[in-house]
Amino acid sequence: MNKIRKNIHREISKLTKHFKNTKIRDLHDSNDSKNKVIELDFLTFDYSKQRIDKKTLDYLVKIPDLINLKESLSLLFSGKVKNLSEDREVTHTFYRNQTSDGNFPLIFAERERIKSFLDQKQSGYSFKNLICLSIGGSRLGPELLNEFLSLDNPINIYFCSSYDLDELDDALHQCLQSETIVFVSSKSFETSEIKKNLEHVKSWFSEKPEINFEDHLYGISANVPAMTNYGIKDANQYPLLDSLGGRFSIWSSISLPAFVNASYESYIEFLQGAYLADEYTNNTPWESNISVLMALLSIWNRNALDIANHGIFPYSFKLRSLTKYLAQLSMESNGKSVNFDSNVSPFLTTPLVWGGYGIENQHSTFQWLMQGKTETSCDFIGINNMESGNLDSYEMLLSQVLAMTMGEENKTAPYKTVRGNNPCSIFQLNNLDLKSLGFLLALYEHKTYIEALILGIDPFDQWGVQLGKKISLDAKKDNQFLKPFFSSSVLPKS
């Protein structure tokens, strides 16, 4: 299989040669650009501002068949893909299935528990504040959803993970113990940041001995014994499949805290959008399959055009944390170069993913994008709906795309010249609703998986992250561990 990938890499290198001085403006002026727009019920994907021609695209869309993508997608949706290095099944797509097929019954049992909790809203919750102790995928997904859903929220929701506890203290200062519940969201229930925050919350509750902390404590984890050992009652536990990766866990009870101000029906709508993206990705020809095209464009931009960073810019305030979520999805999944069989990928793998809320970036990082020496590929995400009040914002998005891709030469004042030529794609959402969000996020998930298959790496492990955890634990156990590597002036003060 690695021989096939080397051949693909070689062909891409051949195609690269005639692209060295190619301008997006010239490509766009050809009749070919009108064919690079895909319209679906939830969104439109426009990749006409990518630096790619028909000859190259015709080759790229053959790659999925070369790596047997159809079979790999079938395995993914049937739960037969494995995270080889950790010997675990990959099960995140089962969390958005609409009906149970008998596989993984825990998922639908968990869904009933989510419904039971969220249905309390009808008669009124017994709490006013919810503190969610979570980190990584257990935080980024729910926090994105909470901001997306946030309007007139009767329940205050605080996400906390900082190791210095300042974030948690800021939240606790706004709460009373009698009005507060705590969710500990951690797949392993062994993360040091979460343990430290949990101990701090316990200490805070102990200031009110008349309150039984266990009545206010909930857990979401694959480690049921650990939840029990920490005093979380069985009725307050939400068990996860051990095979569910943290960065793919947004579809599970990990997102329960984000929906306390919404409803169970809202949660199901979110899952429905993702399920429809599963169906779409599995059944759509490669040349018009958005997930596939996103993966192919990413590999082309990184390997043919040598673009090492990718900006994602949502133009809706409700999606302001989308980039952080997608950055983890992409870089923790595909930020590696060797697979379980010790084969080194012949490709340059995932670029740095960065960005943020587009309007704010216009007045900061876009200057670098427009006139710096580093090229960047970009995704712009906006809402094109007269009823949403986002039309001005969407028009602004299109203007920035034009500036970044087409540029403008000023011969009399060269310092005003904007080179352009940054490859950009546009996602135009038709509505700002949960189904559309679920559909969009699942497309990015599938893009990440497909990209990993082409690169020849496992997107479901994260051994680089694990080394960082191991070293921090070693340093915690032995206060001399760090001493040989750092000057005494920068070591922790005793």
Known catalytic membership, residue 469: yes
CB 376 within 8 A of CB 310: yes
Q: Which amino acid is at 477?
A: K
All residues at 6 or more sequence positions from 417 whose CB lies less than 8 Å from its CB, including other chains: 371, 407, 408, 409, 410
- Three-state DSSP class for 417? coil
Q: Please state, in angstroms and rounded to a whole number, the distance separating the CA atoms of residues 161 and 183.
A: 12
Task: Write down the number of H helices and E strands in the chain.
Answer: 18, 13
CB 379 within 8 A of CB 313: yes
- What is the DSSP pairing of strand 88-89 with strand 217-221? unpaired
Known catalytic membership, residue 199: no
- Three-state DSSP class for 379? strand
Among residues 332, 336, 435, 451, the one annotated as catalytic is 332
Known catalytic membership, residue 332: yes
Q: Please state, in angstroms and rounded to a whole number, the distance separating the CA atoms of residues 218 and 313.
A: 35
Q: Which residue has the tokens 């070689």?
A: 10
Q: Please state, in angstroms and rounded to a whole number, the distance separating the CA atoms of residues 189 and 180.
A: 21
For 124, 138, 265, the CA distances from 142, given in Å and listed in that order, are: 22, 7, 16
Residue 21 dihedral angles phi and psi, to the nearest 5°: -115, 20
Q: Which amino acid is at 20?
A: K
Among residues 173, 363, 411, 477, the one annotated as catalytic is 363
Active-site amino acid positions: 332, 363, 469
